[in-house]
Amino acid sequence: MGGFSRSRLRRMREVMAGYVESGFAPGIVTLLNRHGETHVETMGKMAFEGEAPMARDTIFRIASLSKPVTAVAAMILVEECRLRLDDPVDALLPELADRKVLKSPTGSLDDTVPAEKPITLRHLLTLTMGLGYLMQAGEFPIMAAANERGLLLGPPHPASAPTPDEWIAKVGELPLMFQPGERWQYDIGIDVLGVLIARAAGQPLETFMKERIFEPLGMVDTGFYVPEEKIDRLVTSYSDGKVYDAAEGGEWSRPPKLAIASGGLVSTADDYLLFARMMLEGGGAILSRPTVETMTIPQISDAQHADNEMFFGNNRTWGFGMGVFTKRDEPSANPGRFGWDGGLGTSCYMDPKEDLVAMLLTQQSWESPEGPAVWSDFWTLTYASLAD
């Protein structure tokens, strides 16, 4: 079966079904694709409160699985010479020109020095623009100021987001935490990237993605909201034991003012597989092979992602808009495997050496950046199921 062991696929289903039976999540969808064969399992329900079964075409809020899609959109513009990796973004994002940088991340907002260099597209793709999460313990006035403006921390809330112009203006009100290029920080850089793409393309981000990525690939159920005629296919999302977002009348039930580039997309297992196979096969009609290769190799140093072990552990780093495995310290950590995880309970990686796409879709929020046991078990079972 396409390079998979049937008995070990059954084991995967049994283990994943156990997470549904235990009440971890109302339902789970898994997808494995290898050597032209696709194996999909659906189990459980779309909501604890309902009876509708989880289905292959169930629509999920894919959260940070949006990041690789946004990176692809940016690189389309790079290939067309409408953006350049190392050009300052100031011309298109004047709100971010002439940045000030905090002398210390713990300092007051007016204790700054001038930025040594402007922010570039490369800084956005590599999340090194100088603004993002601070993972260290302590009190940080800059984090409080960012939160007051609705810029950082927490899962996406598209219904309450401002317009792109209003949002980027709020970003421009803050000093940077680090010099551009100095430090990897999750994950506002991808949202800034979304505004940059829209301005460079001369059209809304969602329109550009639809015309240049989703329609060419046949991704018919992917976008930044779920239209009314499909809303019954949108799964209920949970966080901290409570409903985070329902389908009917929820935050993804209408077009947002701001397309949240870092985590706002919805999609299905089969739709995202089309995107993943495009990446695995070298870009297809969307990107060139050299561009995909550039995106999926390490693009930051160990020093740049210091203090972010909870995102990378000892075996991952960052490319353009996605994680890349660099060290095989467990069976599933195959160097060269690339992709990312979504905080609302999603995970998808591509492995060129194994010709593998594997995807775990739940709508139970991860309670830590490392993900719950279901995430670890899924990836262990995925690689255990490979048969040459």
pLDDT at residue 155 in the model: 80
pLDDT tens-digit readout, 46-57 = 999 999 999 999
Domain positions in the chain: 72-201
% of the chain surpassing 70 pLDDT: 97
Which pTM does this prediction carry?
A: 0.97
Residue type, 339: G
Residue 226 has pLDDT above 90, yes or no: yes
pLDDT at residue 240 in the model: 87
pLDDT at residue 368 in the model: 64
Count of Cβ atoms closer than 10 Å to residue 68 Cβ: 26
What is the rounded average pLDDT for all residues in the chain?
A: 95
H helix or E strand, kind and range, residue 37: strand 37-44
Token pair listed for 148? 């007051």
At residue 361, the 3 state secondary structure works out as: strand
pLDDT at residue 153 in the model: 60
pLDDT at residue 22 in the model: 94
Cα–Cα distance between 320 and 272 in angstroms, integer?
18
| β partners of residue 386 | 4
- Of 46, 58, 53, 23, nearest to 241 (Cα)? 23
> Do residues 45 and 52 touch, judged by C-beta distance below 8 A?
yes
| β partners of residue 32 | 39, 358
Is omega for the bond preceding 187 within 30 degrees of 0, making it cis?
yes
pLDDT at residue 292 in the model: 99
At residue 382, the 3 state secondary structure works out as: helix
Strands (E), 87-229: 100-102, 112-114
> Do residues 156 and 263 touch, judged by C-beta distance below 8 A?
yes
pLDDT at residue 388 in the model: 84
Dihedral (CA of 16, 242, 349, 35) sign: positive
pLDDT tens-digit readout, 62-119 = 999 999 999 999 999 999 999 999 999 999 999 999 999 999 999 999 999 999 999 9
pLDDT at residue 306 in the model: 82
At residue 208, the 3 state secondary structure works out as: helix
> Do residues 4 and 13 touch, judged by C-beta distance below 8 A?
no
- What would be the CATH architecture of the domain defined by 72-201? 3-Layer(aba) Sandwich (3.40)
Q: Look up residue 369 and give its DSSP letter.
A: T
Q: What is the mean pLDDT of residues 341-367?
A: 96
Residue 135 has pLDDT above 80, yes or no: no
Cα–Cα distance between 268 and 18 in angstroms, integer?
22
pLDDT tens-digit readout, 177-193 = 999 999 999 989 999 99
pLDDT tens-digit readout, 288-303 = 999 999 999 999 999 9
Cα–Cα distance between 187 and 274 in angstroms, integer?
25
